Structure 1
Amino acid sequence: MKYLMFIYQPKDFDANALTESEYQAVAAQYAAVTATPNVTPGLPAGLPKDAVTVRVQNGETVTAQGPYQEHAVGAYLEFEADTIDAAVELAARIPAARLGGAVEVRPAQKYW
């Protein structure tokens, strides 16, 4: 089964505040996750301040600056695994999960 992982960076995370060695360690950890077999990395999502949230109300398109959620998705990836436990194990390796952010794991399945 395919699982989607939405990576939420901590709101106050500043990569520029890391030392060079800390930054290199985090970058290496992300690289190791994306090099894992059956992982398909997605594109980085960009900064929340640049997001536009779109709704349609009474037939009219309404936009609002910013992300839909308080914590914006920083990136996503797909992972094919036999169980959700394997997906959770991979999610725990993603640096954002231990640096104050979170990783949401969802089965990729139609529900409509």
Structure 2
Amino acid sequence: MRYLLLSLLILALLRTFCEARCWRKPVGKNGCIKHGKLHQVHTVWRTNDCERCECKPEELVCCSQVFTPTNYDKKKCVPMFHKPSCSIHVVKKNNPLEFCKVFAGVG
């Protein structure tokens, strides 16, 4: 019973972390408006801000596609955003051409 409760708690926390990287907005009469552009209901697109957006009948849902490293050697390494791939690379402070190991992240 204890393991079941622990598993449910972990699943609830994971859902919270995933949902925190998304935002929702009500849909207008004609569809969804994002950055001044109208998108029809049932369309999916990727923004320049590295978000995946979906215009649903009841709401616009946009979620970040960027994996954010959280567990790495912060004394020797630094995260660098790479916009073309919508990713964050963790590199050595003294040699940005050398990647660091990442043990965990969010996204």
The alignment's TM-score, normalised by the length of structure 2, stands at 0.27
* Greater strand content: 2
Larger Cα-atom Rg: 2
The alignment's TM-score, normalised by the length of structure 1, stands at 0.26
